[in-house]
Amino acid sequence: MKGWRELEIGAITEAGSADNYNTGSWRAFRPQWIEENCIQCLFCWIYCPDSAITVKDGKRGEFDYNHCKGCGICAKECPGKKGKKAIVMVEEGK
């Protein structure tokens, strides 16, 4: 680890350095994506307070579990298909 003489003053760091920290380890509940119920509305992507919904070619893919803290907002906002949620929260370790 770096000593105080080696560090840039004022804790000014490279942009986007949050990507280097796996804050997903804080999670108590894990969101699970059920693809057959997903209508690709991307509400989850809009509402995610981090950047834990990966999107490619306008379509969502798997969660980025390294950065998802399990807040559950995506599951709450998910409209699902015909009353069936495309995101459900599951307790970690179960």
Partner 1 sequence: MGKRIAITGNFAIAEAMRQINPDVCAAYPITPSTQIMEKFSTFVADGKVDTELVTVESEHSAMSACIGASAAGGRVMTATSSQGLALMWEMLHIASGMRLPVVMTLVNRALSAPINIHGDHSDGMGARDCGWIQLWSENAQEAYDNLIQAIRIAEHDDIRLPAMVCMDGFIISHSIESMEMLPDDVVRDFIGEFKPKHPLLDIENPVTYGPLVLPDYFMEFKRQQHEAMLHVKDVVLEVAKEFQKISGRSYGLFETYRLEDAELAIVVLNSAAGTCKDVIDEYRDKGVRVGLLKPRLFRPFPYEEVAEALSGAKVIAVLDRAESFGGFGPMFMEISAAMLTNGSKPLMINKIYGLGGRDFMPEHAAVVIDEMKEVAETGKVKILKDYLGVRE
Integer angstrom CA distances of residue 58 from 43, 82, 85: 12, 22, 20
Contacts of 86 (CB under 8 A, 6+ apart): 33, 34, 35, 37, 38, 39, 78, 80
Nearer to partner 1, 20 or 58 (CB): 20
Provide the minimum distance between the beta carbon of 90 and partner 1 in the complex, in angstroms, as a whole number. Answer: 27
Provide the minimum distance between the beta carbon of 15 and partner 1 in the complex, in angstroms, as a whole number. Answer: 3
Provide the minimum distance between the beta carbon of 74 and partner 1 in the complex, in angstroms, as a whole number. Answer: 23
For partner 1, the binding residues (CB under 8 A) are 1-4, 7-18
